[in-house]
Chains A and B, each alone.
Chain A
Amino acid sequence: MSLTRFIAIAGFVLAAVLFAAVEWAARRDNSRIPTFAQMTGFVMQYEVGPVPVGRIAVFGFWLWVGWHFFAR
């Protein structure tokens, strides 16, 4: 395994550990950190006039993720 490949895998693992750590911190009693679901829900509330831009962007991103991993 090359060094760059090792660094990439270690970086992705580190990102996953950090996600889990912040989510864990957010779920403690009286935490001021929102959970990932709360933060995503907040972003999805964003609207420009009658257009739910936040929802469209998040749904579009997640649809792309599914297509990218399962179909492309």
Chain B
Amino acid sequence: MEQPSELTAGAVRTWDRPLVMVPVFVVLSAIGGLFPSFSLLANMYVLGIGGTLCWLGLSGRVPKRGVPRRLGRSTAWWLVPLFTLALIELAMFIAGSTPDHPTLSLLADPVLESYLPRSAVYFGWLSAFWGLVRR
């Protein structure tokens, strides 16, 4: 497999560093954790932040990391966890997503009702989104 190069689109901007982005995401997550599910503010907030990150990722305003031009056959190993997750999720969804047949989101709902876990998961979602924008 060809190894990726380092940053490919110019120099790293001043704000485009973990020292800047991590505190920004901590603040955004702390605010996002305040809004309960099904509320208008929660919808507006997640769509606003997600939409902004989509725009950044599609507009090419953020330097991107190099990615491999080709992937070898060993990539197929990733099908094992992906199919396992998809199989369980699909089976539970078809069974109705009930407490006896819970999907992942049904299991996550009680955890995400508390502020700290909700903010922590929000931070993970934002960080992963930023990682995608940089790809």
A residues with CB within 8 A of B: 2, 4-5, 8-9, 11-12, 14-16, 18-19, 21-22, 25, 31-34, 36-42, 44-45, 52, 55-56, 58-60, 62-63, 65-72
Most buried by B among A2, A39, A41, A67: A41
Main secondary structure, interface of B, reads helix
**How many residues on chain B are close to A (CB under 8 Å)?**
55
Query: Which A residue sits closest to B89, measured CB to CB?
Result: A12
- The minimal Cβ–Cβ distance linking A38 to chain B, given in whole angstroms, is 5
CA A37 – CA B65 in complex, angstroms?
10
CA A19 – CA B80 in complex, angstroms?
8
Contact between A34 and B50, CB atoms less than 8 A apart: no
CA A69 – CA B123 in complex, angstroms?
13
**Chain B residues within an 8 Å CB radius of A58:** 132
Beyond A32-B1, A63-B51, 10 additional contacts (C-beta under 8 Å) are A2-B100, A4-B95, A11-B88, A22-B81, A41-B67, A44-B67, A55-B58, A56-B58, A59-B54, A59-B132
